[in-house]
Structure 1
Amino acid sequence: MIVFNKKTNTLEQTKYKHSLQDVKEPNLYRDLFNYDEIPKCTFNHRKVPMRPADEIWITDTTFRDGQQARAPYTVEQILRLFDLLHKLGGPKGIIRQCEFFLYSDRDKEAVYKCLERGYKYPEVTSWIRATKEDFKLAKNMGMKESGILVSCSDYHIFKKLNMTRKQALEHYLNIIKSAIEVGIRPRCHFEDITRADFYGFIVPFALELKKLMEETKMPIKIRACDTLGYGVPYPGAALPRSVPGIIYGLNHYAGFPSELIEWHGHNDFYKAVVNSATAWLYGASAVNCSLLGIGERTGNTPLEAMVIEYAQLRGTTDGMDTTVITEIAEYYEKEIGYRIPSRTPFVGKYFNVTRAGIHADGLLKDEEIYNIFNTSKLLNKPVGVAVNQTCGLAGIAHWVNSHFGLEGEKRIDKKDERIKKIKEWVDEQYKNGRVTSIGDEELEEVIRKLTPDIFDLGI
């Protein structure tokens, strides 16, 4: 059969049918995943079209996957972070949903308090065990959508569940039908999709879900879970590791629309962010993230990274308040007690701080030379310079101007005698064997002794 695809404006064949391949032995892709070797990335040079959705958004798993990697958040902490996610996502709801456990009294209290806020975005959703009792729990707590684990690779089907592919598919369909019966929108978490037989199980399973959607008129989402971070973004990479191939295949061969496809990545191979962006580019509307990337093992895709990625890809923040990213980082460090590595992009203490003297000289002339964007405006985080043995006069001048907020005629030039005095003190420190940078409070005390009039300039 031939149909006209309005998205591509081309005639396309729709005769491709992918039936379940109920194999007797699991396909573990041992040529790719030899456990005693680093996984191999193969290419078949089959390139699929880049086809971004009309609308893309972010979903959050801070209070589900994120809580599996750290001490549980208190109810107060969850509520504060939920408020910040709402503020960050803006009026268009770019941060569309927030996912919660429903089991402990603390979980339930947090869900109720977040629901009481009455926000349209992010929508509160749940993740539950695949039992009828849990579906009723979710329904009674006011959930409209819930995540359901449907493990997809033969590693999980054969080795964890001790089932065949056919048994697993039938088991999953019965669970999903139970959710629909109580009025819960199912979000099917295709666990370990980057080690699964795509045409032998993933597409046939997705086709069954599509059929169920048409019968029940209930939307069913697919969350493509890169559970071990095996996904790769490269054009021409072969399945099962190809992120473009997975998203394109779910859309093209299984017929799932973009708004029902979501990517959930892990960072085991440092590809969480680029894989999430690739999922957007090839047709997934949603990418699932956690604040600061906190999650299992190496973590999830950092939500703050995808906020910035959204703006890069769409050319607009669409109403998101990016300065909230800094609020979130400060809350984690000051209130929750979580230490963010200082060089973490966008949220680390020193992510936009330079230590090289030649860089500091450039910053003093025009900060755009050595800063990625206007971090003062977009993140409420002014560019900084660390004072050490290499920062030079320019670095000290930049630190003074930035720290004391000196602008216009009040700005101090690197040739100023006061800067030279401070530089002499700094040089003496390192001549005597110091190896660490000089902290802000320490430098303030030195200035108070050597050049106290600088304090008056900042008033």
Structure 2
Amino acid sequence: MLSFNKKSNLLELGQYKYSLQNVEKPNLYRDNFNYDEIPKCTFNHRLVPMNPPNEIWMTDTTFRDGQQARTPYTVEQITTLYEMLSRLGGPKGKIRQCEFFLYSENDRKAIRACQEMGLKFPEITGWIRATKEDFKLVKDMNLQECGILVSCSDYHIFNKLHKTREQALHDYLEIVKAALDYGIRPRCHFEDVTRADYYGFVVPFATELKKLMDEYQIPIKIRFCDTMGYGVPFPGATLPRSVAGIIYGINHFAQIPNELIEWHGHNDFYKAVVNATTAWLYGASSVNCSLLGIGERTGNTPLEAMVIEYAQMRGTLDGMDPTVITEIAEYYESDLGYQIPDRTPFVGRDFNVTRAGIHADGMAKDEEIYNIFNTAKILNRPIGVEINKNSGSAGIAYWLNQYLGLKDEKIIHKNSPEATILLNWVDSLYEDGRVTFISKEELIEAMKTLTPHLFALKKKK
């Protein structure tokens, strides 16, 4: 079928027929995935065009996948975080949905409590196993959309489910039909897609889902789950690991609209963020994330990272409030007892802190030199300096000006007597064998003793 693509202004062949390949033995892609070796990334140099959707957004799995990797949240903790997600996503709903388990009474209480808050975004959705009996839970909770696990790789179909591809496809379609009969929007979780036979199972399955969608006139979303983090963003990489190929192909070959394509990545190979951004670039409207990246094994795509990625890709925050990211990080540490690694971008205690004197000297002259953006304005996280053996007088002067709130002609310079006095004190500590950095409390006590006139300035304020 020929059609004119108004986006590319080209006449294109829009209908491709890929039939299910019901193989007798599983295709485990042993050239790529030899279990006794690090997985190989192969290339065939075939490039697909970038195809960014008109609108992109995020969804959240903090209370589903994220909850599989930590102590279960209480109802109060869930409602607190849900409200923060709503403020972070802003009035345009850039954090569009938030998914929940349905199985425990605590899960259902949390859903009801969030529903009672009356927030437009994020929409509350569910997740169930691929069994018809579970749809009653979805209806009882008055949810409009629910995720259904439909494992796609032969690792799962043959080795876990002990089925053929034909049997798996038949059973999955029966479950999807059951959801449609209930009037529920299905979200099909194509588990382990980066080890699945793309043209032999993934595209034929998606094509059948498109037929059901046209028949029932109910949207069916496809969530591509990079369950093991094997996806790669590189141009010319081969399937099944190519994120670009997976996303572009399902839109082009199975005619699944951009707004119904979602990416759910894991971080096993440090590629969760770049793979999610690649999914956006090649046609997925939605990327699924969790707060702080908390999820199975190495975690999911961090939601806060994709908020910043969105702003980089679109040149605007579109009403999102990134200062809430700092609130969320503080809540996790103070109320949930979760220790965020110090160097985690945007949320770790050290992400915009320097201990090097040469960096502090540069920031004293112009903070743009060593700060990624205005973190005080955008994240409500002013830049910081911690004092150690490498801080020098410049680091001490910067810390003093920040702590005392000194500006313009009142600032203390690195060559000032006060900076020299405190530097000598710091140097003496390290000469005596100290190896740790010096805390804020220790510096304040030293200032009281060695430069009391400076401490008096703070007291006056």
Q: TM-score range by the shorter chain?
A: over 0.9
| CA distance 1:216–1:15, shift in 2 (3 Å) | closer
Calculate the TM-score normalised by the size of structure 2: 0.98
Structure 1: how far apart are the matches of 2:456 and 2:7? 63
What is the aligned partner in structure 2 of residue 59 from structure 1?
59
Distance apart, 1:32 and its partner CA:
0.4
Q: Which residue of 2 aligns with 1:230?
A: 230
Counterpart of 1:25?
25
Matches within 5 A, 1:218-367: 218-367=218-367
Q: Distance in 2 between matches of 1:411 and 1:88?
A: 36
**2:40 aligned counterpart, secondary structure:** coil
> Percent identity among equivalent residues?
70
> Paired residue for 2:382?
382
Deviation of residue 15 (structure 1)? 4.5
Give the aligned CA root-mean-square deviation in angstroms. Answer: 0.9
The answer to whether the 8 Å contact 1:139/1:183 transfers is no
5+ unaligned residues in a row in structure 1: which ranges?
Answer: none
Q: List alignment gaps of at least 5 residues for structure 2.
A: none
Q: Structure 1 residues 139-148 or 395-404, which shifts more?
A: 395-404
Q: Which amino acid aligns with 1:91?
A: P
Offset at residue 418 of structure 1 (A): 1.1
The 2-side partners of 1:404 and 1:348 are apart by 24
Aligned-partner SS, 2:146: strand
Q: Deviations over 1:257-283 (max 9, x none)?
A: 110000000000000000000000001
Kept in 2, the 8 Å contact 1:388–1:436? The answer is: yes
* 2:200 equivalent in structure 1: 200
- C-alpha contact (below 8 Å) 2:130/2:150 kept by paired residues: no
Q: TM-score, normalised by structure 1?
A: 0.99
Alignment of 1:59-138 (within 5 A): 59-138=59-138
Residue pairs, 1:169-184, within 5 angstroms = 169-184=169-184
1:448 aligned onto 2:421: no
C-alpha deviation, 1:456, in angstroms: 3.5
The answer to which of 11-20 and 158-167 deviates more is: 11-20
CA distance in 1, matches of 2:455, 2:175: 67
On the 8 A contact 1:101/1:126 being kept in 2, the answer is yes
How far apart, CA to CA, are the structure 2 residues paired with 1:257 and 1:430?
62
Contact 1:29 1:195 in 2 (8 A): yes
Shift of 1:441: 1.2
**CA–CA distance in structure 2, aligned partners of residues 335 and 181 of structure 1:** 43
Using the TM superposition, give the Cα deviation of residue 103 of structure 1 relative to its aligned residue in structure 2, in angstroms.
Answer: 1.2
**Aligned-partner Cα distance in 2 for 1:410–1:175:** 71
Distance in 1 of aligned mates of 2:410 and 2:120: 47
Please tell me whether the aligned partners of residues 406 and 457 of structure 1 are also in contact (alpha carbons under 8 angstroms): no
Contact 1:99-1:127 at 8 Å conserved across structures = yes
- Which whole-Å CA distance do the structure 2 matches of 1:359 and 1:20 have between them? 59
- Structure 1 residue 256: Cα displacement: 0.5
Cα distance between partner residues in 1 of 2:408 and 2:76:
43
3-state SS of paired residue (1:267): coil
Query: Aligned equivalents of 1:172 and 1:2: distance in 2?
Result: 31
Letter in 1 for 2:203: V
Deviation of 1:416 after TM superposition, in Å, equals 1.6
What one-letter code is carried by the residue in structure 2 that aligns with 1:223? R
Count of paired positions = 459
Aligned with 1:200: secondary structure?
Answer: helix
Letter in 1 for 2:248: Y
Q: Deviations over 1:436-457 (max 9, x none)?
A: 1111111111111111222333
Contact 2:45–2:236 (CA under 8 A) maintained in structure 1: yes
